[in-house]
């Protein structure tokens, strides 16, 4: 099982993705696609293990808003890292729907993508095969400051900055 | 212009370090070509016909003399001595080595410049009126808001991977000099009756293969809501814009598919959730940016024409022409803005050599306040010149080859680099521009023809804005040969799209076709003030079409 980068640490991952109820091991932590969840949410919510919802970037998070407080995790699957819909999705999950559980990025996830993703509310990452997690972790620290409001820091830089005039003599 | 503080500088420096690391790993084979492509593109680095092309941002077209000297240094050290000013107020270098690009970015960072988001599917450099802050017809100086947008859009985490590129233009004057109706978002800074500043918001304009005039989605957006409203627009686009076909991925296609009314409702619904949130702009931030904007310390000069200027206007016909075409009214008494034409016959439109850049920086220091503007028409501007200095400046510009008095005239051609450099191009642009300039080199004739914008693009991506040229020329590929499609009647402000006059022509035929268009115009215009574009508006394209295709030598070649 691949590791997960969670809150800036490399940890083993307990979740198993399952695509049918038959595949569910009673004690396991499971990750299920939206279609399975929609059809069997009662049975899935009754399981003893942790429950995560696997969303594609085309899914509509608003459809499951009422269940979000019952979930431990939402995974957003990036078929391509350049699919920015997942970034909006995480922000909506956090800022609009108030989801407090883990939001993990899965799929085409690697060092260069982590910084933006983390600022949109992702706090866990499963790297694509072949990536070095130690190296990827550094991707979270490339920039020490950012202009915009983000999930991790809801106040934009302009609200944190002191008004300072430029030093005299600078051209 | 805006002076970086320690944080702005740190962000740019960290970007340089990040790109240095990415380039190193790419060259070492640790990052694949596919993964590196979007990374380098977000730093303005294309792989072009001959070498990489690096596009450097000139935020809202404002340059300090020391920045222009740095660009000259980069042209000399890392390129073949030339830079190309683009239609988005940026500069492009066509010959850098990939391994040296991190060094170039590090040099740029020392003068508060960068190449961040100058390409890629993200929010690009915000552009504005090249006379912002100095134009006599200005209502609001848009540059503080441009800087606000620059900072908001720089490394925006949610909007780094949009369906397609995204361009924002801001204008604050009576005349629209920023092509706001043909941008993804166009903003008109306006003042309400009660004095409050706000923006008319236009969405979904654009050129490219599906040219469209934008739609007003909000007549008046108070300034404090600017960023939350932009976020709402970008979020709707990011979530619902098409990603399956890059030719249908711009926001204009989404607006059209949804209908402007529904798109507007979606944006307003999203905005209701965002408005008054943390991204609501505070007046302290506007004041902070304003305090970091270095403003010229103008002398108190009398209004009216100074004696030196009057004398030169009377005695020197060449000066008078140049003054009429290339000098623009200033909002401060005794000053004027001077357009340096980068459109002399025989030169690639928008190109400047390192020596010329250094010389312009020198002139900006000597006659102005060390500031230079870049226009989307690919010229340079010295924004703050004492009117009394104009004759002396004119003499120096003549020596430099920057005094061609053709601003607003046919030979002030907007042109993309075209097939000589760009790997997207279907056809070359520069030789066509040069052939037309040679054909219309006679100044008397040029003045008789009067105001006329001629724009050339080497492919339908329309970097040369051919749709909004009074005469537009588009390079097309026909069975592997270069052909050119001609449109007439396009206009930048008010924005109108040109109409195709007929089958495309071979390269040799283009100057004759332009000649024919001009002949028709001169024959049928009612008076000298009726411009080419007015005649097309009045008579339609038919009389022009007839003349162009009546030429036997052209007939033989279009099939």
Instruction: Write out chain A residues lying below 8 Å of B243, CB-based.
Output: 83, 85
Q: Are residues B254 and B143 in the same domain?
A: yes
* Distance from the Cα of residue B467 to its chain's centroid: 14
Q: Are residues B503 and B526 in the same domain?
A: yes
Q: Identify the helix (H) or strand (E) that includes residue B323.
A: helix B317-326
State ipTM: 0.94
Angle between helices B532-539 and B510-524 (to 10 degrees): 80
Average of pLDDT values for B71-78?
98
Listed by number, the residues of chain B in 229-288 with a beta carbon closer than 8 Å to a beta carbon of chain A are 235, 238-239, 243, 273, 277-279, 281-282, 284-285, 287-288
Terminal C-alpha separation, chain B: 53
pLDDT at A142 over 50: yes
Residue in A84, A120, A147 closest to B152 by CB: A147
Provide the pLDDT for residue A66: 94
Tell me the backbone φ, ψ of residue A104, rounded to 5 degrees. -115, 145
pLDDT band at residue A169 using 50, 70 and 90 as cut-offs: very low
Provide the pLDDT for residue A171: 39
Specify if A48 maps to a domain. yes
pLDDT at B452 over 80: yes
Provide the pLDDT for residue B557: 52
Provide the pLDDT for residue A27: 82
Tell me the backbone φ, ψ of residue B91, rounded to 5 degrees. -125, 140
Instruction: Write out chain B residues lying below 8 Å of A154, CB-based.
Output: 278
pLDDT at A163 over 90: no
pLDDT at B556 over 90: no
Q: CA–CA separation, A88 vs A103, rounded Å? A: 13
Smallest CA-to-CA distance from B57 within B116, B123, B127 is with B116
Q: How many domains does chain A have?
A: 1
Specify if B114 maps to a domain. no
Least confident segment among B43-57, B410-424, B527-541, B544-558: B544-558
- Cα three-residue angle B417-B422-B424, rounded to 5 degrees: 125
Least confident segment among A149-153, B404-408, B444-448: A149-153
Helix (H, G, I), strand (E, B) or coil at B190: strand
Q: Are residues B536 and B444 in the same domain?
A: yes
Angle between helices B317-326 and B307-315 (to 10 degrees): 120
pLDDT at B51 over 90: no
Specify if B122 maps to a domain. no
pLDDT at B234 over 50: yes
Q: Is B205 exposed, middle or buried (0-12, 13-18, 19+ CB in 10 A)?
A: buried
Q: How many domains does chain B have?
A: 4
Report the mean per-residue pLDDT for chain B.
Answer: 94
Q: CA–CA separation, B411 vs B434, rounded Å? A: 9
Helix (H, G, I), strand (E, B) or coil at B112: coil
A167: distance to nearest CA of chain B, Å? 9
pLDDT at B540 over 80: yes
Look up the domain containing B376 and give its range.
Answer: 307-400
pLDDT at B554 over 70: no
Specify if B406 maps to a domain. no
Provide the pLDDT for residue B209: 86
Average of pLDDT values for A116-122?
97
A105: distance to nearest CA of chain B, Å? 14
Q: Are residues B92 and B141 in the same domain?
A: no
Partnered with residue B415 across adjacent β-strands are B456
The reported pTM is: 0.93
Instruction: Write out chain B residues lying below 8 Å of A147, CB-based.
Output: 11, 151-152, 154-156
Q: Identify the helix (H) or strand (E) that includes residue B433.
A: helix B430-439
Q: CA–CA separation, B30 vs B26, rounded Å? A: 6
Specify if A171 maps to a domain. no
Specify if B458 maps to a domain. yes
B182: distance to nearest CA of chain A, Å? 24
The percent of residues above 70 in pLDDT, for chain B, comes to: 98
pLDDT at A164 over 70: no
The model's pLDDT over B7-41, given as tens digits with 9 standing for 90+, comes to 999 999 999 999 999 999 999 998 888 889 888 99
Specify if A117 maps to a domain. yes
Residue in A89, A112, A143 closest to B14 by CB: A143
Q: Are residues B335 and B419 in the same domain?
A: no
Q: Do B414 and B464 contact (CB within 8 A), yes or no? A: yes
Mutate to test the interface with A, among B17, B63, B119, B161 (most CBs of A within 10 A): B161
Which residue is associated with the tokens 């569910």?
Answer: A24
The b/e string for B123-140 (b: 16+ C-beta within 10 A; e otherwise) is: bbbbbbbbbbbbbeebeb
Which residue is associated with the tokens 């404002």?
Answer: B62
Between residues A1 and B518, which one has the greater pLDDT? B518
pLDDT at B551 over 80: no
pLDDT band at residue B473 using 50, 70 and 90 as cut-offs: very high
Q: Are residues B228 and B324 in the same domain?
A: no
The model's pLDDT over B274-308, given as tens digits with 9 standing for 90+, comes to 999 999 999 999 999 999 998 999 999 999 999 99
Average of pLDDT values for B244-260?
96
Smallest CA-to-CA distance from B227 within B165, B288, B185, B174 is with B185
User: Which among B109, B138, B155 is the end of a domain?
Assistant: B109
Specify if A166 maps to a domain. no
Provide the pLDDT for residue B559: 44
Q: What is the CATH number of the domain that holds B256?
A: 3.30.413.10
Listed by number, the residues of chain A in 25-84 with a beta carbon closer than 8 Å to a beta carbon of chain B are 81-84
Smallest CA-to-CA distance from B12 within B88, B86, B95, B114 is with B114
Q: Are residues B429 and B393 in the same domain?
A: no
Q: What is the CATH number of the domain that holds A75?
A: 3.20.20.70
Q: CA–CA separation, B64 vs B2, rounded Å? A: 10
Q: What is the CATH number of the domain that holds B330?
A: 3.90.480.20
Specify if B212 maps to a domain. yes
Average of pLDDT values for A17-21?
91
Look up the domain containing A17 and give its range.
Answer: 3-160
Smallest CA-to-CA distance from A25 within A44, A11, A12 is with A44
Which residue is associated with the tokens 């706090």?
Answer: A123
Specify if B78 maps to a domain. yes
Listed by number, the residues of chain B in 5-64 with a beta carbon closer than 8 Å to a beta carbon of chain A are 5, 7, 10-11, 14-15, 17-18, 22, 35, 38-39, 64
Q: Judge: B151–A143 Cβ closer than 8 Å, yes or no.
A: no
User: Which among B366, B400, B434 is the end of a domain?
Assistant: B400
Provide the pLDDT for residue B50: 67
A74: distance to nearest CA of chain B, Å? 18
CB atoms within 10 A of CB A133: 17
The percent of residues above 90 in pLDDT, for chain B, comes to: 88
pLDDT band at residue B1 using 50, 70 and 90 as cut-offs: confident
Average of pLDDT values for A47-57?
95
Specify if B115 maps to a domain. no
Q: Do B205 and B494 contact (CB within 8 A), yes or no? A: no
Q: CA–CA separation, B344 vs B361, rounded Å? A: 19
DSSP secondary structure letter of residue A22: G
CB atoms within 10 A of CB B5: 16
Provide the pLDDT for residue A170: 41
Q: Do B421 and B83 contact (CB within 8 A), yes or no? A: no
Instruction: Write out chain A residues lying below 8 Å of B239, CB-based.
Output: 85, 88-89
Specify if B368 maps to a domain. yes
Q: CA–CA separation, B236 vs B248, rounded Å? A: 16
Q: CA–CA separation, B123 vs B61, rounded Å? A: 16
pLDDT band at residue A161 using 50, 70 and 90 as cut-offs: confident
Which residue is associated with the tokens 């590129």?
Answer: B165
Specify if A141 maps to a domain. yes
The model's pLDDT over B155-202, given as tens digits with 9 standing for 90+, comes to 999 999 999 999 999 999 999 999 999 999 999 999 999 999 999 999
Tokens (6 digits) for B305: 């024409």
pLDDT at A167 over 60: no
Which residue is associated with the tokens 């109820």?
Answer: A21
B75: distance to nearest CA of chain A, Å? 22
Peptide bond connecting B136 to the previous residue in cis, omega within 30 degrees of 0: no
């Amino acid at each position: 099982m691949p590791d997960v980068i969670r809150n800036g640490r490399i940890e083993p991952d307990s979740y198993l993705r399952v695509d049918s109820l038959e595949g569910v091991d009673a004690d396991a932590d499971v990750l299920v696609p939206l279609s399975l969840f929609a059809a069997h949410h009662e049975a899935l919510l009754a399981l003893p293990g942790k429950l995560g919802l696997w969303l594609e970037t085309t899914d509509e998070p608003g459809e499951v808003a009422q269940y979000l407080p019952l979930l431990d995790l939402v995974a957003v699957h990036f078929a391509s890292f350049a699919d920015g819909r997942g970034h909006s999705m995480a922000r909506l999950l956090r800022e609009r729907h108030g989801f407090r559980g883990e939001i993990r990025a899965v799929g085409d996830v690697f060092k260069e993508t982590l910084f933006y993703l983390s600022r949109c509310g992702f706090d866990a990452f499963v790297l694509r095969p072949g990536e070095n997690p130690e190296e990827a972790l550094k991707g979270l620290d490339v920039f020490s400051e950012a202009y915009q409001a983000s999930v991790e820091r809801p106040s934009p830089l302009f609200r944190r900055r002191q008004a300072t005039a430029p030093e005299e003599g600078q051209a | 212009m805006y002076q970086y503080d320690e944080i702005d500088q740190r962000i740019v420096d960290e970007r340089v370090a990040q790109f240095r690391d990415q380039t190193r790993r790419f060259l070492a084979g640790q990052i694949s070509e596919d993964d590196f492509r979007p990374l380098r593109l977000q730093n303005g680095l294309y792989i072009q016909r001959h070498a990489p092309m690096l596009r450097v941002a000139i935020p809202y077209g404002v340059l300090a003399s020391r920045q222009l000297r740095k660009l000259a240094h980069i042209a000399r050290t890392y390129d073949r001595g030339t830079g190309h000013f683009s239609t988005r107020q940026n500069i492009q270098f066509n010959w850098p080595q990939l391994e040296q690009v991190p060094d170039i970015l590090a040099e740029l960072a020392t003068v508060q410049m960068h190449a961040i988001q100058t390409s890629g599917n993200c929010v690009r450099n915000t552009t504005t009126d090249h006379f912002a802050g100095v134009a006599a017809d200005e209502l609001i100086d848009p540059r503080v808001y441009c800087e606000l947008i620059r900072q908001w859009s720089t490394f925006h985490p949610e909007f780094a991977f949009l369906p397609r590129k995204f361009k924002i233009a801001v204008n604050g004057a009576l005349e629209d000099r920023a092509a706001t109706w043909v941008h993804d978002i166009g903003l008109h800074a306006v003042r309400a009756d009660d004095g409050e500043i706000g923006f008319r918001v236009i969405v979904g304009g654009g050129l490219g293969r599906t040219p469209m005039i934008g739609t007003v989605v909000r007549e008046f957006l108070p300034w404090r809501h600017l960023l939350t409203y932009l976020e709402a627009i970008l979020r709707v686009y990011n979530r619902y814009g098409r990603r399956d076909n890059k030719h249908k991925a711009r926001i204009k296609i989404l607006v059209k598919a949804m209908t402007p009314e529904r798109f507007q409702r979606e944006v307003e619904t999203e905005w209701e959730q965002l408005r008054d949130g943390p991204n609501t702009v505070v007046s302290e931030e506007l004041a902070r940016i304003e305090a970091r904007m270095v403003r010229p310390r103008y002398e108190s000069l009398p209004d009216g024409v100074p004696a030196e200027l009057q004398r030169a206007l009377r005695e020197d016909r060449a000066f008078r022409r140049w003054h009429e075409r290339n000098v623009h009214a200033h909002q401060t008494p005794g000053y004027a803005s001077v357009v340096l034409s980068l459109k002399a016959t025989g030169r690639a439109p928008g190109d400047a050599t390192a020596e010329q850049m250094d010389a312009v920086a020198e002139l900006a220091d000597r006659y102005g306040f060390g500031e230079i503007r870049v226009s989307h028409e690919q010229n340079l501007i010295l924004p703050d010149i004492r009117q009394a200095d104009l004759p002396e400046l004119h003499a120096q510009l003549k020596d430099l080859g920057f005094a061609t008095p053709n601003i607003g005239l046919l030979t002030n051609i907007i042109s993309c680099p075209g097939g000589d450099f760009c790997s997207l191009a279907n056809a070359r642009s520069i030789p066509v521009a040069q052939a037309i300039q040679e054909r219309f080199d006679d100044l008397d004739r040029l003045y008789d023809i009067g105001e006329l914008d001629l724009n050339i693009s080497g492919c339908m991506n329309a970097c040369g804005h051919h749709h909004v040229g009074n005469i537009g020329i588009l390079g097309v590929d026909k069975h592997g040969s270069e052909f050119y499609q001609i449109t007439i009647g396009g206009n930048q402000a008010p924005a109108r799209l040109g109409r195709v006059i007929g089958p495309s022509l071979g390269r040799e035929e283009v100057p004759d076709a332009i000649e024919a268009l001009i002949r028709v115009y001169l024959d049928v215009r009612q008076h000298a003030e009726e411009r080419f574009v007015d005649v097309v508006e009045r008579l339609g394209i038919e009389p022009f079409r007839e003349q162009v295709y009546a030429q036997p030598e052209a007939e033989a070649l279009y099939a």
